[in-house]
Amino acid sequence: MPNHLIHETSPYLLQHAHNPVDWYPWGDAALEKAKEEDKPILVSIGYAACHWCHVMERESFEDKATAAIMNTHFINIKIDREERPDLDNIYMDAVQAMTGSGGWPLNVFLTPDKKPFFGGTYFPPIAIGGRPTWQQVLLGVADAFKNQRNEIEQQAHNMTEHLVQANFFGEADIVHSPEKEIEKLDKACDNLLKTADRIWGGFGRAPKFPQTFSIQFLLGYFQTQKYRVSAVAKEAKAQALLSLDKMIEGGIYDQLGGGFARYATDREWLAPHFEKMLYDNALLVSILSEAYQLTKNGKNKTTIEQTLAFVERELMHPQYGFYSALDADSEGEEGKFYVWSFEEVNELLGNDAELFCRYYDISKEGNWEQKNILRVLMPLQDFAVSNNKKSEEWDLVLQSSKKKLMGAREKRIRPALDDKIILGWNALMNKAYSKAYAATGNEHYKELAIKNMRFLLSAFDDKNSTLFHVWKNDSAKYPAFLDDYANLIAALVQLHQITGDTTWLDKAKTYCTIVIANFSDENGYFYYTPRGQDDVIIRKKEVYDGATPSGNAVMAHNLQVLGLVFDIREWIARAQGMVLGLSNMLVTYPGSFGAWLNTLLQMNSGTQEIVLMGDYEQALKETLSCYLPHAVIMASSTENEIYPLLKGKTTEWPLAIYLCENYACQKPVSSVAELLQML
């Protein structure tokens, strides 16, 4: 007998639709029932690719005795954190405040009016290491709610007040000062490099996350500060490129099929948490594109190509939207689809197996839980030389061997696909395709970016420029959150930059106006949820970068760029106020504010305004291939009075290229080579 989740579209909720637990989705039915019966609410939050969510389901939520306790004492609500990140943000903050840690599955207990009073993450079915069992937790909370109600209500009130107070941040009336800001940028870079792993790349200790925003900041810092006598700028570049190299060579990268896993559980990037998320791959393609623009390192280009090939093969909807994720588990085991035994590889590859195994660190003992995760410990050229082979010859052997292993892997039972399509994550991937086109010149990437954007505007926009958050089965639902709007605006700006089509720019301006009207707070920042959404206990403001960039940080950059393009000075001033209001936090905690630091860097170094007039297509392609992290590029065949950067720019030449700053332009030149000499 299915429960109330049976009519949902989320793969995660549908996984729980046949549990004996009487699960409800978040909504009026469950919330009103809790008030009517005066029962506490148990909210359990997870997502389809979450390994420990599956474990707790098998151990507890599928157990009839445990379900009976839950059904007797609680109104049980299941939430897909990817469908309702607003609720996840609120209740994750509460659990972290209560326990000092967080994660998924997130299990939090609420009063009938939705206020949190107790919670945690995974709870086992039997006591381990002093950790209470899930049944003990359930019975303890039920008893406390019945016999210590006043204390429970007070605790819930105090926690809600704590969440409200955490929404206040930023300093008022900070004056823009380039001298002070460069000092802060220097200090932020120095603090970030203090956390750097100089051997294996990345930052901090295990578990290691890609931290693409930090890498982007280090590359941008190098580019803008390399003209100063500064060893730190060279260190910044070296650490950024080392981090990318080590991830590409590690087990976090799928050496056979392309694409990156969520994070590594160890220092060396060997053992990933095997789920593949759309947003991670989008963010890594974006930063790899910037690295390729800077270095022209072929390994970066190859990784871009392989990762996007994976995305199109395994995460693309027929209408050119992108699915959310691939599960970490298959056949009930984490990583089973991706790992290999020594014997399997030898049987498949025959005479080529010995060198292949040495190159990819494959052994009889295994490098992870008696199995092998493919990783590279020596660059291809060095390995070929040490084995008396030409690198081209060895590469052909590798490609042939990888093809054989891929063929065998395709016969395995695949990890489950989370096939819902999320607006903000698709926007990140759309931007990645635009950046990949800019870096590589591959027309396919531009074409797919356009097709994906057309799908997004058709599927997620209600035709009044109000957006939805998630789409599946030809239906969009839930009002879009700040991150959805912010990332879509950024993708539209990037798409304009690679096409010269101002339609995308105008749409970005429209959505930016909507964000200002519906998400603004009283201090110049933005709430996560729009006005009028009344099923959350507070409207949170998110400023820290997480797995995806802070929506506030992205909006600050959007306001800065669109303010310049359309000459809207109040947007530029607002962007500066947002960034400078957090500038002390950016310096102290650079690893959590990489997206903000990139905008502060652009504010300090200035935006290069590049305008191409006339027959611009080839010149635009050449310009885009250059590493210009703080440039706004516009291209037009004729003068256009609507856009300030195009106004008054005419040419009798086939091509005229203008370099400007604050609308003050140098004399035009007729080639990209001349432009680069001016930069």
pLDDT band at residue 573 under the 50/70/90 scheme:
very high
Longest dimension (CA), the chain: 85
Comparing 362-371, 426-435, 463-472, 475-484, the range with the smallest average pLDDT is 463-472
Phi-psi sector, 350: left (phi>0), alpha (psi -120 to 50), beta: left
Residue 171: its pLDDT value, please?
62
How far apart are alpha carbons 416 and 49 in whole angstroms?
8
Which two structure tokens, joined as six digits, stand for 155? 């605790």
Asked if residue 652 has pLDDT above 90, the reply is no
Looking at this protein, which amino acid is placed at residue 617? E
How far apart are alpha carbons 199 and 189 in whole angstroms?
18
Residue 367: its pLDDT value, please?
97
pLDDT top residue among 175 and 453: 453
* 427 neighbors 549 (Cβ within 8 angstroms): no
Please provide the DSSP assignment of 330-348 as one string: ETTEETTTT-B-HHHHHHH
Peptide bond into 668 cis (omega under 30): no
Strand 116-120 to 106-110 pairing: antiparallel
pLDDT band at residue 639 under the 50/70/90 scheme:
confident
- The predicted-structure confidence for 550-565, as pLDDT tens digits, reads as follows 999 999 999 999 999 9
Q: Quick count: other Cβ atoms within 10 Å of Cβ 388?
A: 6
C-alpha radius of gyration, the chain, whole number: 26
Burial class (CB in 10 A: 0-12, 13-18, 19+), 481: buried
How far apart are alpha carbons 78 and 49 in whole angstroms?
15
Comparing 323-337, 379-393, 446-460, 549-563, the range with the smallest average pLDDT is 379-393
Residues 310-322, mean pLDDT to the nearest whole number: 98
- The predicted-structure confidence for 126-171, as pLDDT tens digits, reads as follows 988 778 999 999 999 999 999 999 999 999 999 999 999 988 876 6
CA distances from 402 to 256, 363, 375 (A): 6, 17, 13
pLDDT band at residue 229 under the 50/70/90 scheme:
low
Which among 272, 254, 263 has a CA at the least distance from the CA of 210?
A: 263
Query: Among residues of the chain, what percentage have pLDDT more than 90?
Result: 88
Residues 433-458, mean pLDDT to the nearest whole number: 98
Asked if residue 172 has pLDDT above 60, the reply is no
- The predicted-structure confidence for 40-83, as pLDDT tens digits, reads as follows 999 999 999 888 999 999 999 999 999 999 999 999 999 999 99
Which two structure tokens, joined as six digits, stand for 344? 């399997």
Strands (E), 203-306: 263-264, 272-273, 276-277
CA distances from 578 to 488, 517, 524, 531, 555 (A): 20, 17, 6, 20, 9
pTM of the model: 0.96
* 263 neighbors 272 (Cβ within 8 angstroms): yes
pLDDT band at residue 638 under the 50/70/90 scheme:
confident
Which two structure tokens, joined as six digits, stand for 359? 């190159």
Asked if residue 175 has pLDDT above 80, the reply is no
How far apart are alpha carbons 94 and 112 in whole angstroms?
16
Residue 138: its pLDDT value, please?
98
Please provide the DSSP assignment of 43-87 as one string: EEEE-TT-HHHHHHIIIIIT-HHHHHHHHHH-EEEEEETTT-HHH
Phi-psi sector, 524: left (phi>0), alpha (psi -120 to 50), beta: left
Residue 231: its pLDDT value, please?
80
Residue 144: its pLDDT value, please?
97
Asked if residue 408 has pLDDT above 90, the reply is yes
- What SS3 state is found at 216? helix
Asked if residue 173 has pLDDT above 70, the reply is no
Looking at this protein, which amino acid is placed at residue 508? A
Query: Among residues of the chain, what percentage have pLDDT more than 70?
Result: 99
